[in-house]
Amino acid sequence: MAEVVTSMLIRPLLSMVKDKVSSYLLDEYKVMEGMEEQREILERKLPAILDIIEDAEEKAAHRAGVRTWLKALRKVSYQANDVFDEFKYEALAREAKKKGHRPHHNMTPAIVFRHRMGKKLQKIVHDIDVLVGEMNAFGFSHKQQAPPLKSSRQTDPVMIESEKDIVKRSRKNEEEKIVKILLDHANNDDLLVLPIVGLGGLGKTTFVQLVYSNPKIEKHFQFRKWHCVSEDFDVERYLLVLDDVWNEDVDKWQKLMTCLQHAGTGSALLTTTRNAKVARIMSANYCNLGNLDDVFLKEILERRAFSFQKPTHAELDNNVNEIVKRCHGSPLAAKAIGSMLSTKTSEGEWNAVLNKSSICNAERGILPILKLSYDNLPLHMKQCFAFCAVFPKDYEIDVENLIQLWMANDYLPLEEDVSLETTGRRTFEELAWRSFFEDAKQTKLEDKNLTHFSSIKTCKIHDLMHDIALSVLGEECTTITERLDQKKLLPKHSRHMFSSYRETGTCLIDILKKQAPALQTLLCPWPGAINWTPRMPKCSSLRALKLPNSSAFQIRPRDLQHLRYLDLSENWWIKQLPEEISILYNLQTLNVSGCRELCRLPSDMKYMASLRHLYNKECTSLKFMPPDLGQLSALQTLTYFRASVSSGCSTIGELQNLDLGGTLVLSCLENATEAQAKAATLGNKEKLRNLSLEWSSECHEEPVTDCHKKLLGALEPHDGLEVLRIVGYKSTCLPTWMKDLSSLQKHLTELHLVGFTLCEEFPEFSNLKDLRILRLQDLEKLQSLCTGEASLTFLKLKELQLRDLKSMERWVAAEGREGEVAFPQLENLIIRGCPKLSTLPADTPNLKVVNLNEDKAQLSLLIVGCRYLSLMSELALSVRDKEAVLELDDDNGESSLLQLAFYGCDFFFPSSPSQTAVGIWRWFGNLVSLAIIDCDALTYWPEDVFQSLISLKHLYFDGCKNLVGTTQVKGEPAPTRTHVLPRLNSLHVIDCGRLAEFFALPPSITQMIIRNCENLQFTWKVEAESKGVHVEQLGTSTSQENRVSTSVSKQSAAPTIHPLPCLEYLSISGCDSLVTLPDLPPALTELSIVCCEKLCSVSGQMDALERLRIAHCNALQSLDSLGHLPSLTSLRIQGCKRLTSVPGALGGYSALRNLTIKYCPAIDMKPLYQRHQQRLDSLEERDLSHAHSSDPSEGTFLSVFLLLYAAYLLFRPLCGPCLVPSKSTFIHYSFYSFFSQNTLPNILFI
């Protein structure tokens, strides 16, 4: 079956070639001069082949010779596609030359071009002639294509008895819902039309059979009919079921409804369809049938798989759960796979099924049924959907990028007066309507400085639909998600390749060099992962290329003449693109977003006539824009434009004739003039949705009087704008359009005003009825949010940020109306640096997230005592007030807070160890995450507080300089310690220099990170399973007698129980007192030890350890006590100058893939090379180049670290509290780590 499906992509490919043969560009620039005869032959014969292709595809199912013929036709079609794209490129090159483009490399002389292309074309024509001759011998016939709206499936209302029980239990809730809707309609004169929508194989027909045979329905309806309406019936109330509807013709549907319009009271029409668009034609309201629960899928699968005999191996039963996951909610898939497994009884056979990339491929299984949806697609949609097989399963696809990739491969048909992007969006929407895509959503993206915003639509493909796409694309698609075996070559017919495996590297390049497949798409989305230092091989057929972060631009534009899509985003090393890139005349999309070192774009970009999308946001090093950008008449997207006074660069006036849409950032507007701003005509750019206007903070010159006002007045956008951001405005008053923003009231949903330091007037924000996000920062003269002259209700506002508003005193200027300000939909409230603001808005019933940063605790005390505390889920407070006292309202009761972070906020803890912690903690039984930062009042572990936090999973301490350990009062010993925080998963302790010991850690912990705790002692109490055996080990920097204390029965060899049996990740750094780490937890999978200067011993039985990093531990001499590490995949040792050997025997590390040994001069590497050379050669990544060397950074490493750390301490009060860091192994000391890694998702910080 796959062979037949694969061949079906030949038809759209051949049709594409036929259109290119007739392109007007080839005539206009006479690029086929002297080759007219061959062109005419193709113009005659290609349509003839297209006429019989459907018959050929049908016969290929049974005739091997026809399948071979179709493969040959596909091959020559691809070759012809490349040849005619070369003609197109030559036409574009001649057009550019006519406009004055003189690229650095010499263009091919016309006579040489004609000779070379003549030979290529002659071969194409010869191959087509041969194929036409064979075509005639096969006797293919022309078939009139019928509308693709037919299905051979026949259904009836009878449900298979053996399935009725499972279906009834699994769809009980949905059945009750539909039955209720039908019965509630009893007294309505209008005919109820109720479509049931869902993916093929989800059980829509079976579900409707269930409803159809429901006793209540049988009793309620006098007449029930399945599918056929040809019979006359004269009854008062009936139920008609139309199953598996495909019709999209509105007229036909209206005719049917006309026939049924005289239905009796309470009559209903129940339909099923895969297509939501069809459902909407039938009714405005429809029901989506959800995935079946895994419990019932398992029952269905087991009934089919084990119907003849029960499994003899327990392993077969264990595999069932894994296979159920692969069914993804589809009962038809469970039936198909269960039936296939019913004859397989060995574990090996079941594993073979489980390991298949597509398990739903039985001839009578789910794939042919789902394929009905594919068969009903128009030709270009088949091609577009099949292309999606290149993405891995469950991959989140950027829809706009997907459309651009379709464009790059010429999958979208040209329509008069309709852009390719519009056709692409319609194609996507149509495929989504037909259930080919799922989880389509808008995702908000923000940069790290909360400055630039965009919405991006993403989607996924249902796994079963992915199987369909893969069966269609077949060997033309290669997806690499794991290690690439150098011996395994790419399929020779591979056209599209996706690699998300971070270690692909030079292995992939070697394979490309050896095979040089005619790749059209090469996508490597893993940032910073692949080393592209070797120059990429020539892949002259490439249409789309996405490269990861690399040290240099390693591709030659002259080898990529067909390229339409080039994505170099997030490439931190590129400083400039080669000038030669301007010869990519076919290029439609260029993405250099996030290339922060990129300082210039090619000066000849104006000749790239096909360029439609230039993504260059966050290219903060750009000094100017290349000249004459206005000549790029096809340009629709330009995300960043930097104005400059340099000669030979574009001004914003160049935007005049560009029909830009999406997002546009205009920066350095101090370099623009009013005349240029007027010439930009932003008011005419109706496709713009997100506009940012920025004056640079680097400009210290005082603006000319009203200069900013006039410029801003000339930059008035159109009334369809959704997001407006203005930064650095330096006039005292606003231009007319900004005063009330009335022209933007219709669609504006986000408004950001930053740095209005001189402005004395502001718009009436509450007039913006659709506003959902309002962010105000550095508006030094803003005194109130509302004047009181307009409405005081922000109807739709969901997020409000007020930052550094030094003069803001009130919410409303009018006296006596402070309590009237209402935010009925507000969910996120952030207030920072508003010292005069002493009240909170009274009406905020939906408040979920609050973030406050203030010197005095006036707002923080209010919010803690606020009646909405019981509704909030996230709270972050930063208070430097040491004298604040918390007064509690006992009526608050339990809070719904899930995440709490505070910086300072000493009022949360008692000033004396003899006092009990304040009672507020008893409200936080639901708290999941807690971060305590720079709290000077905290001197001991607040174990009385911990008793209340029964749901806490993440705990973070940072900079609590007075924290010493367990409770002690006046020298008395601490009370008996018991486990607290029973659900704790992760513990992070940073910069607690006086801390000596932990509280009683619960066994549930899976992750620990300890940094810069110079006094900390590690204590493990390891108990043996047999009675009387006790082991206590302690590692400190004091005398040798305290280093290890052991009492073990000599006769006993009983296994021990570790107190932290679940700990998987442990990172320790900067703990200067640590001397030994004995008996490390056995469940550890990742261990990192860095900058522990006195550490001399590490031991433990860690069979699960996968990643080990040890760096800058200068007292460490041996790691042999670690023993055998069978699961180790990555070993990195660096800067341990006394270490003499690698732990254990390298040859025993069967799982090892990555090995790095640097700056360990005492290690003798010769034995390693002599004994394990073959093992070393097999590693994916190794770095032993400086194994013997002394660390060149020694003496500077600590200095750099301290410098970065000082910066962190300096800026941390400004940045506010940080929560639990995400798991990170190797960048604990980087500046980026402090500001980006040490955050818990889903909470806002100041």
> What is the rounded distance in angstroms from the CA atom of residue 784 to the CA atom of residue 802?
11
CB 43 within 8 A of CB 21: yes
In whole angstroms, how large is the CA radius of gyration of the chain? 35
pLDDT of residue 540: 82
Tokens of 94: 């001649």
Q: CATH for 161-288?
A: 3.40.50.300
> What is the rounded distance in angstroms from the CA atom of residue 935 to the CA atom of residue 933?
6
Nearest to 1065 by CA among 1083, 1044, 1077, 1079: 1083
In the chain, which stretches have pLDDT less than 50? 1-7, 146-152, 228-233, 308, 357-364, 445-454, 487, 528-533, 551-552, 969-975, 1025-1054, 1196-1246
Render pLDDT for 513-529 as a digit per residue (tens, 0 to 9): 666 568 899 998 765 44
CB 371 within 8 A of CB 385: no
pLDDT of residue 23: 84
Tokens of 966: 């367990």
pLDDT of residue 849: 92
Render pLDDT for 800-841 as a digit per residue (tens, 0 to 9): 999 999 999 989 887 777 777 889 999 999 999 999 998 888
DSSP-assigned letter for residue 270:
E
pLDDT of residue 138: 87
Residue 954 makes CB contacts below 8 A (sequence gap 6+) with: 928, 929, 930, 984, 985, 986, 1219, 1220, 1240
For the chain, the structural domain boundaries read 2-138, 161-288, 294-368
DSSP string covering 159-197: PPHHHHHHHHHHTHHHHHHHHHHHHHTTT-SSPEEEEEE
pLDDT of residue 291: 80
pLDDT of residue 1246: 27
Nearest to 698 by CA among 665, 669, 663: 669
Tokens of 115: 């000779």
Nearest to 56 by CA among 158, 131, 162: 131
> What is the rounded distance in angstroms from the CA atom of residue 166 to the CA atom of residue 176?
15
Residue 495 makes CB contacts below 8 A (sequence gap 6+) with: 78, 476, 477, 517, 518, 519, 520, 521
pLDDT of residue 711: 95
